[in-house]
Structure 1
Amino acid sequence: MPELEPIEPTQAVDLYLNAKQSDVTDKTIENIRYDLSTFTDWCDEKDITNMNDVTGRSLHEYRIWRQDDDVSDATVRKNLSSIRVFIRWCESIDAVSEGLADKILVPSGNSSRDEKLAADDATELLAYLRKFEYASREHTMLMLLWHTGIRLGTLRSFDLDDYHPRKQALDVRHRPETETPLKNQKRAERTLAVSDDVATVLSDYIDVHRKDSADDYGREPLFTSVYGRISESNIKEVCYRLTRPCTYGSCPHDRDPDDCEATDSKKAYACPSSVSAHPIRRGSITHHLLNDVPQAAVSDRCNVSSDVLDKHYDRRTKDQKAEQRREYIGEL
C-alpha cells in the first residue's frame, strides 16, 4: 500500500481541475468547481486541512451536512457524484486511501442509482463480452466477480492450480506470506462451485487467452499481467472501463462522446455509472437474494456474516423482502 502524501483540500481541487482542463469544456469545469466548493467549505468548517484525513465516515458526515442544507435530492446526488470522481482521482495521486471513492453511496433517484451493478446491466454487459470478447481475461474476471460475489482480493489471489475443471470448483486460500491475503484470513478459505457455463468460460480462457507468467514467489496466477500476477489497481481499472454503459449500450447521461473524459479508458472512473469491484459484489449478492438463494448460502459463498450482509450488502427493498416471505409462507 503506497504511503499517503499530504495535500490540502483546496490544493487538491485546484490540481484536479487543472488536470481536467484539456478534457472538458469550460462550462463543465465551472459546474465541477461549484460541486467541489461545497466539499471544501465543509472541510473548512470541520478543520480538515489534509486530504489524508478524509475517511468513509467523514464523507458520510458531509453527505448528511449537505442534505441538511435545504437543497434538493437531485443537487445532493449531483454533488456526491462529482465528489466521488474527484476522490477517485485523489486515490491516483496517493492523497487518500485506496478504495475510498467506493464508500461514497449516492442516494438513489430517477437520475441515479445505488452504488451497485444492477442485474440488468450485468446481464447486458456479460452478453456483450460473451459475443465480442469471449473468454478474454476481462470477460472471465467480470463473469467470476458477478457469478460468485467474491472480493477483489479473492479474485487476485487465485492460482492456476486452484481451479479444478473436472469438479468445476475454485479453491479460495489465504496466503499472506506470498502477498495474497484474504480479508477474513483463514476463515475465508472455502471451495467455490461454479456452473457449467462459468466452468466452460474459465477453461477456454486458460486454454486460449491466459498468458503464462509467474509471480515473484514462483506461483502461477490464474489472472496474469506482463508483470506476473494482476494488480488490484489493474482489476479496478478493468471494472471501471467495462461497466461504463457506453461500452455495451448507450450513455444514460446525455454526454457527448467528444466531450466526455470517461471515453478515455484510463479515465473510465470519471463515468458516473462506472463501478469498481465492490459494487459488482454488492449487486451480485442482491441478485442472489432476489432470486431466492437462501441467506445462509449467500453468506457462506460470499464470505460475509449475516449481520454484515443485512447491513451493507442486501439492497432489497422492504416490499421485495415482504413478497419473498409471502411466497414461503404460502407454501406452509
Structure 2
Amino acid sequence: MSLKPIDPETALDFYLADRQAELSQATLYSHSSRLGHFLRWCDQEDIENLNDLSGRQLHLYRLWRRNEGDLRPVSEKTQMDTLRVFIRWLESIEGVERDLSTKVQSPTLAPTENTRDVMLDAEHAESILTYLEKYEYATLAHVSIALMWHTMMRIGAVHALDVDDYHSDDRYVVVSHRPKTGTPIKNKERGERMVALSDQICELLDDWIADRRPSVCDDHGRQPLLATHYGRVSKSVLRDYVYQWTRPCTYGIPCPHNRDPAECPATDRDHASSCPSSVSPHAIRRGSITHYLHKEIPEKAVSDRANVTQRVIDKHYDRRTEREKMEQRRRYLDGF
C-alpha cells in the first residue's frame, strides 16, 4: 500500500469532519478531547507524518498517557479505544500502514469495572429538592435540578427544551433534536419523545415561566425554557449547578468528610466539583433511573422515558442489589 503523508493536526481535522454526520456533537467533542492528547504526544515526540507511526510508538503513547494522566483502567480503555477507531480510519485513507489499528492495546476490564457506580440516591435528591423549594424556589438552579431528577433526562435534552415544548394543561414536555438551531440531542431523532410531568413539576415550571424566567430568545430566535438574561443557559452552567447543590453542606447536611467549611476549597462555587460528595448530572440520571426501578415502575416504562435501552439500563444504570430485585419479583409472583 502506498501511503500518503499526513500530519497529526490535519488528520484529526479530517477525521472529525468525516464523522460529523454520524456522531452527536457531544460524542465528537469527546473524540476531539481524547485525541487531543495524542496530538500533544506527537508534538512532543516530533512526529510530523503519521505514515511513520509504528506499533511500538503506540505502546509508548499508551504508557505516556497512563502516567501523564494518572488514568484509571476505565478511562485508559476509553481513550485507547477511541485512538484505535482513529487509526482504523487513517488506514482507510492510506495515512498509516495496514492493520496498524490492531496494534493499539487497551485494558481488558472485569464486568464490574466497565460501569460507574456514582449516583445521587433518592434520599439526598429529596433533601436537595426540599431545600431548594424552601430557600431557592423557582430559581434556575431549582428548576434545572428538579427537571433532571424528575424526568431522568440527559443534560443535553434539558438544555434543548423551549418554552413551547412545555404543555402545562396536558402536563408534558416534548424533547426534539434540532441541530440546525444549536440543540442536538443524543440519539438524534431516536431520542425525540414526549415526557409526562407531575403536578408538582408543572406548578414549578408555571411559576418559573410566569415570575422568574427572563424574557429572552437564544441566538436562533427560539425561547429557551431554561434561560439566563443572556439567552439559553449553557450546559456548563447546568453542570455547575449540579456540582454546587450536591455538596452536602449546601443543603444542611454535616460534612461527611470532616472538613471545616471555612477552610474547605470545595465551598468555593468555582471548585464545587472537588467536593468528594458532589456528583455530575449523569449521576442524577443514574440515581433517578434506579429510584424509579425501586418504586417498581416497569423497566420498559423507565427505558422509554429515559431514552435508553433495557440492556443499557441493566449494565450501566440499575443499582438495585440482586436481593432487592429478587424481593421485587417475589411480590409480583406471590399472587400466582
TM-score using structure 2 length: 0.69
Task: Return the match for 1:175 from 174, 178, 183.
Answer: 178
**For 1:171-250, what aligned pairs fall within 5 Å after superposition?**
171-248=174-251, 249-250=253-254
| Aligned partner letter, 2:328 | Q
Show CA shifts across 1:83-128 (max 9, x none).
Answer: xxxxxxxxxxxxxxxxxxxxxx999xxxxx9410010000111100
Residue matched to 1:286: 290
CA distance in 1, matches of 2:113, 2:236: 22
Contact 2:176-2:191 at 8 Å conserved across structures: yes
Residue 320 of structure 2: SS of its match in structure 1? coil
Residue 166 of structure 1: SS of its match in structure 2? coil
CA distance in 1, matches of 2:226, 2:73: 30
1:60: how far off?
Answer: 6.5
CA distance in 2, matches of 1:270, 1:286: 25
| Aligned partner letter, 2:305 | R
Residue 64 of structure 2: SS of its match in structure 1? coil
Residue matched to 1:89: none
Residue matched to 1:48: 65
Residue 291 of structure 2: SS of its match in structure 1? helix
1:227: how far off?
Answer: 2.9
Distance 1:45 1:229, change over 3 A: closer
Distance 1:284 1:219, change over 3 A: same
Structure 2: runs of 5 or more not aligned: 1-28, 42-59, 80-111
1:55: how far off?
Answer: 8.7
RMSD: 3.0
CA distance in 2, matches of 1:53, 1:178: 38
Residue 315 of structure 2: SS of its match in structure 1? helix
CA distance in 2, matches of 1:277, 1:245: 16
The answer to whether the aligner puts 1:328 opposite 2:332 as a matched pair is yes
CA distance in 1, matches of 2:73, 2:142: 31
Show CA shifts across 1:7-36 (max 9, x none).
Answer: 68xxxxxxxxxxxxxxxxxxxxxxxxxxxx
Contact 2:213-2:228 at 8 Å conserved across structures: no
CA distance in 2, matches of 1:161, 1:236: 24
The answer to whether the aligner puts 1:159 opposite 2:162 as a matched pair is yes
| Aligned partner letter, 2:75 | S
Residue 47 of structure 1: SS of its match in structure 2? helix
Show CA shifts across 1:284-305 (max 9, x none).
Answer: 0000000000000000000000
The answer to whether the aligner puts 1:57 opposite 2:57 as a matched pair is no
Residue matched to 1:300: 304
Residue 46 of structure 1: SS of its match in structure 2? helix
Contact 1:153-1:183 at 8 Å conserved across structures: yes
Distance 1:308 1:203, change over 3 A: same
Structure 1: runs of 5 or more not aligned: 9-42, 63-104, 108-112
Contact 2:139-2:208 at 8 Å conserved across structures: yes
Task: Return the match for 1:135 from 125, 134, 138.
Answer: 138
1:48: how far off?
Answer: 2.0
Contact 1:106-1:115 at 8 Å conserved across structures: no
Contact 2:74-2:113 at 8 Å conserved across structures: no
The answer to whether the aligner puts 1:314 opposite 2:304 as a matched pair is no
Contact 1:146-1:280 at 8 Å conserved across structures: yes
CA distance in 2, matches of 1:52, 1:219: 40
1:198: how far off?
Answer: 0.8
Contact 1:162-1:171 at 8 Å conserved across structures: yes
| Aligned partner letter, 1:57 | V
Show CA shifts across 1:30-87 (max 9, x none).
Answer: xxxxxxxxxxxxx99823279689698334799xxxxxxxxxxxxxxxxxxxxxxxxx
**For 1:112-151, what aligned pairs fall within 5 Å after superposition?**
114-151=117-154
CA distance in 1, matches of 2:226, 2:134: 21
Contact 1:106-1:114 at 8 Å conserved across structures: no
Count of aligned residue pairs for this structure pair: 253
The answer to whether the aligner puts 1:252 opposite 2:269 as a matched pair is no
Show CA shifts across 1:259-311 (max 9, x none).
Answer: 21100011100100101110000000000000000000000000000111100
The answer to whether the aligner puts 1:268 opposite 2:244 as a matched pair is no
TM-score using structure 1 length: 0.70
